[in-house]
Each structure stands twice: as structure tokens, then as C-alpha cells.
Amino acid sequence: MKANEIRALTVAEIGHKLDDTYQELMNLRIQVRAGQQKNTARLMLLRRDIARLQTVLREREIEEFMAKEQEG
């Protein structure tokens, strides 16, 4: 998922997407360890997606904080 696509989502949607991605990562780790999954590169992609989601959430938190600072 691209950062621009993530920025188009609401905070709630990003949170839901983050939860789903964590769940998918956990399931994939189990599959890799059990020998059912050979595509280990997917682990790296999921971790990057999680980082992107967390980054956009943090950007929103900072924007909200800065807006409150300018108001008062």
C-alpha cells in the first residue's frame, strides 16, 4: 500500500488496516515456521506496510497537536 493511498483514509480506517496487517503478519510468520509458506519476502512487505501506516498516524497526531497549539 502506498503512502498516498494511506493518507486518503480516515484515522479509524488506518487503525483497522493496521490491525488487519498485524494479524496477517502473525499468520504468515506461523506459516513460514511450519513450512507451509515459502514466500518469506512477504514478511518484509508487511512490516513496511505497518511502518507506513504508523507513520501516517503519527503525522496526523502531530498535525492535530500543532493545530491545537496555534489555537491557544
Predicted confidence (pLDDT) per residue in 5-57, tens digit: 999 999 999 999 999 999 999 999 999 999 998 888 999 999 999 999 999 99
State the pLDDT at residue 72. Answer: 72
Rounded CA-CA distance 69/49 in Å is 30
State the pLDDT at residue 1. Answer: 83
Beta strands in 14-54 (DSSP E): none
Look at the chain and report how many structural domains it folds into. 1
CATH of the domain at 34: 1.10.287.310
State the pLDDT at residue 38. Answer: 87
Which H/E stretch holds residue 3? helix 3-7
Domain carrying residue 64: 3-71
